[in-house]
Amino acid sequence: MPIIIEKQYNNHSYLAVWHITESHNELQAMLPSEILTDAELASIHHPKKQIEFFCSRLTIKYLADKLGIKYLGIKKDEYGKPYLVGSTWQFSLTHTAEYIAVVIHESQSLGIDMEQPSEKLLRIAHKYLSETEKNAANNDLDKLCIYWSAKEALYKLYGKRKVIFIDNLLISPFSKDQQVIKGRLRINDIDEQYSLIVEKIAQYYLVTVC
């Protein structure tokens, strides 16, 4: 089982990270039919996307088994936010080409995102950072990446569309070695502060709001 990280956070959220080392066929063979239906498989065309899908479902099933949650499948709401069928447990997931990370909690909404620093983030910084955040990031690729993942994690926690990253998702200034940063979700009648956990896995930053 290539789960490389598993831990429990202070608020009783559980994290599992899967390092993808298996082939497409190996992964598919690991999935019983109650997890992978023919209809689901048919809806994902690209083999790389299928691998991400296989691993994410295996990681969720791994956590469900560990926590005594009956796994009855995963569905998505009208906004694309996934949920466990027939359970009050909440989860969030993120994929990269090499890793899948899932965080789960008995009742609280969560968000998780994993990204690697890249030049692309410099080009799109104006789309997701306020002027204050842009100045604080100061073109530093690591900081731009942490901002990006933190906002994507907050977005997934909220789960609905029409979020303006610059206005609705705010991250307080932080230093690169800071393990917990502060974020704020401010939209419609919601104004909530959150602590976000920042971890480095290989070249990626993993940010979890839980």
Ligand X SMILES: CC(C)(COP(=O)(O)OP(=O)(O)OC[C@H]1O[C@@H](n2cnc3c(N)ncnc32)[C@H](O)[C@@H]1OP(=O)(O)O)[C@@H](O)C(=O)NCCC(=O)NCCS
Name the residues that contact ligand X, by CB under 6 A. 53, 56, 79-82, 92-95, 113, 127-128, 152, 155-156, 159, 165
Which residue has 């926590």 as its token pair? 67
Query: CB-wise, 97 or 177, nearer to ligand X?
Result: 97
**How far is the C-alpha of 128 from the C-alpha of 85, rounded, in Å?**
33
Q: How far is the CB of 195 from ligand X (least distance, A)?
A: 19
Q: How far is the CB of 160 from ligand X (least distance, A)?
A: 7
Query: CB-wise, 80 or 173, nearer to ligand X?
Result: 80
**How far is the C-alpha of 39 from the C-alpha of 43, rounded, in Å?**
6
Query: CB-wise, 26 or 167, nearer to ligand X?
Result: 167
Query: CB-wise, 81 or 143, nearer to ligand X?
Result: 81
Residues with Cβ within 8 Å of 43's Cβ and at least 6 positions away in sequence, in order, are none
Q: How far is the CB of 142 from ligand X (least distance, A)?
A: 18
Backbone angle region of 90, left / alpha / beta, with phi > 0 → left and psi within -120 to 50 → alpha: beta
Q: How far is the CB of 96 from ligand X (least distance, A)?
A: 7
Orientation of helix 120-128 relative to helix 141-158, angle to 10°: 50
Q: How far is the CB of 193 from ligand X (least distance, A)?
A: 20
Query: CB-wise, 133 or 152, nearer to ligand X?
Result: 152
Kindly tell me the burial class for residue 145, based on how many C-beta atoms sit within 10 Å of its own C-beta (0-12, 13-18, 19 or more). Answer: buried
User: Closest Cα partner for 132 from 174, 192, 185, 77?
Assistant: 174
Q: How far is the CB of 29 from ligand X (least distance, A)?
A: 19
Query: CB-wise, 177 or 209, nearer to ligand X?
Result: 209
Phi then psi for residue 10, to 5 deg, are: -55, -35
Cα distances (Å, whole numbers) of residue 103 to 45, 92, 143, 159: 26, 6, 23, 15
